[in-house]
């Protein structure tokens, strides 16, 4: 049976993650909490809006209502990478070669490791950012589609158009697909080789959490009373195929996190419950029996034996599968 080390914090957890082996919890109030031989904390933002981990997993990148972009390492040391006082930093993404992208309003700014910046303007507000797995290519969602830009190369943007408001965006691990979540309870995907559209709809609510399986053959999503897992192994992606529905309960799935090595997904629900389900066969195990608030963030450690989780009400913790 898994054991849970609870961590009771006061506030909405935006990100639960691991830096190296150290679990970190970033709260909306701008405080950061980590467990390294005892609980530690620091206030790094006046209001934290977004967080992600760098590609090597050595630091946490955060953006806030204070306009700052902050990098925090596993010892808790933090460095301000950029400061746009007065602007909300709505999105942040980590890329290869230690690049960081963030957005404020209609601008996307890519910061390379050497500190050089390149800026891209959209016609509408940027709602989501993601780097392609190779090369400094950034995807930005906006109204009516996704824009793809190369950072540091003079090249026109590639527009992936689809009518409606797009929020989050994610590349498949092989770089062949871009998938966005929409205001309209659906996902939309594009195959980059030929721009072919993929509509993934039928969700009862907005999709706020997306996670690729270890080898990129499955895409897990929230937004339904089960984790909806789309097959991407065929050449047409999920087109014409039914998704798996794992961990079906009378409660909305609010967060999904695929295991780093095995075909298993951790599923977090609105009541704070966390299950693990294997795919495609759908065997389930309970990792956490409910809590105070909806699960808002989850991340496995690199070995896949610990799961850090955070909730909207601040009852966070670590689930350990080895104990």
| One residue of 11, 135, 260, 282 binding other proteins per CB under 8 A | 11
Q: Is residue 83 a contact residue for other proteins (CB under 8 A)?
A: no
Q: Is residue 205 a contact residue for other proteins (CB under 8 A)?
A: yes
Give the residue among 98, 11, 5, 24 at the shortest CA–CA distance from 301: 24
Size of site (CB under 8 A) for other proteins: 30
How far is it, in rounded angstroms, from Cα 163 to Cα 143? Answer: 8
Torsions phi, psi for 97 (to 5 deg)? 55, 30
Q: Is residue 165 a contact residue for other proteins (CB under 8 A)?
A: yes
Output the smallest distance, CB 293 to other proteins, in A: 7
Torsions phi, psi for 316 (to 5 deg)? -105, 180
Specify the stretch interacting with other proteins by CB under 8 A; choose among 17-25, 157-165, 190-198, 277-285: 157-165
Residues 266-295 that bind other proteins (CB under 8 A): 292-293
Q: Which is nearer to other proteins, 183 or 261 (CB)?
A: 183
**264 CB contacts (<8 Å, ≥6 apart)?**
258, 276, 277, 278, 279
Output the smallest distance, CB 315 to other proteins, in A: 10
Tokens 């270890």 belong to residue:
214
Q: Is residue 86 a contact residue for other proteins (CB under 8 A)?
A: yes
Output the smallest distance, CB 165 to other proteins, in A: 4
| One residue of 314, 317, 318, 319 binding other proteins per CB under 8 A | 314
The angle at the Cα of 243, spanning 239 to 244, to the nearest 5 degrees, equals 155
| One residue of 31, 143, 248, 278 binding other proteins per CB under 8 A | 143
Output the smallest distance, CB 272 to other proteins, in A: 12
CA distances for 284 relative to 38, 161, 258, 279, 297, angstroms: 32, 38, 14, 10, 20
Give the residue among 97, 245, 230 at the shortest CA–CA distance from 172: 230
Token pair, residue 117, equals 């910046």
| One residue of 5, 20, 29, 282 binding other proteins per CB under 8 A | 29
| One residue of 28, 94, 148, 207 binding other proteins per CB under 8 A | 28
Output the smallest distance, CB 100 to other proteins, in A: 20
How far is it, in rounded angstroms, from Cα 282 to Cα 10? Answer: 35
**Radius of gyration of the CA atoms of the chain, in A:** 19
How far is it, in rounded angstroms, from Cα 142 to Cα 149? Answer: 13
Positions that interact with other proteins (CB under 8 A): 11-12, 14, 28-29, 47, 49, 65, 86-88, 90, 105-106, 124-125, 127, 143, 163-165, 183-184, 205-206, 292-293, 312-314
């Amino acid at each position: 049976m898994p054991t849970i080390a609870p961590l009771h914090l006061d506030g909405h957890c935006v990100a639960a993650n691991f830096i190296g082996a150290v679990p970190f919890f970033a709260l909306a109030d701008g405080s950061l909490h980590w467990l390294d031989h005892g609980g530690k904390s620091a206030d790094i933002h006046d209001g934290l809006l977004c967080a992600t981990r760098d590609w090597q997993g050595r630091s946490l990148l955060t953006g806030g209502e204070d306009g700052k972009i902050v990098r925090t390492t596993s010892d808790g040391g933090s460095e301000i990478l950029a400061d746009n006082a007065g602007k909300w930093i709505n999105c942040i993404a980590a890329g290869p070669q230690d690049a960081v992208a963030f957005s404020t309003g209609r601008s996307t700014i890519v910061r390379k490791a050497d500190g050089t910046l390149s800026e891209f303007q959209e016609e509408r507000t940027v709602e989501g950012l993601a780097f392609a797995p190779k090369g400094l290519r950034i995807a930005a969602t906006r109204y009516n589609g996704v824009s793809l830009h190369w950072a540091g190369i003079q090249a026109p943007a590639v527009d992936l158009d689809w009518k409606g408001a797009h929020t989050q965006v994610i590349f498949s691990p092989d770089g062949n697909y871009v998938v966005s979540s929409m205001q309209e309870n659906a996902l939309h995907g594009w195959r980059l080789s030929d721009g072919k559209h993929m509509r993934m709809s039928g969700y009862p609510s907005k999709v706020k959490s997306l996670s690729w399986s270890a080898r990129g053959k499955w895409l897990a999503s929230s937004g339904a009373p089960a984790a909806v897992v789309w097959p991407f192994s065929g050449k047409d992606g999920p087109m014409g195929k039914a998704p798996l529905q794992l961990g079906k309960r009378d409660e909305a799935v609010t967060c999904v996190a695929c295991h780093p090595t095995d075909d298993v997904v951790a599923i977090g629900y609105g009541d704070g419950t966390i299950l693990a389900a294997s795919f495609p066969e759908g065997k389930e195990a309970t990792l956490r029996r409910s809590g105070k608030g909806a699960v808002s963030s989850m991340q496995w450690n690199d070995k896949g034996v610990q799961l850090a989780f955070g909730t909207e009400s601040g009852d966070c913790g670590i689930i350990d599968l080895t104990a």
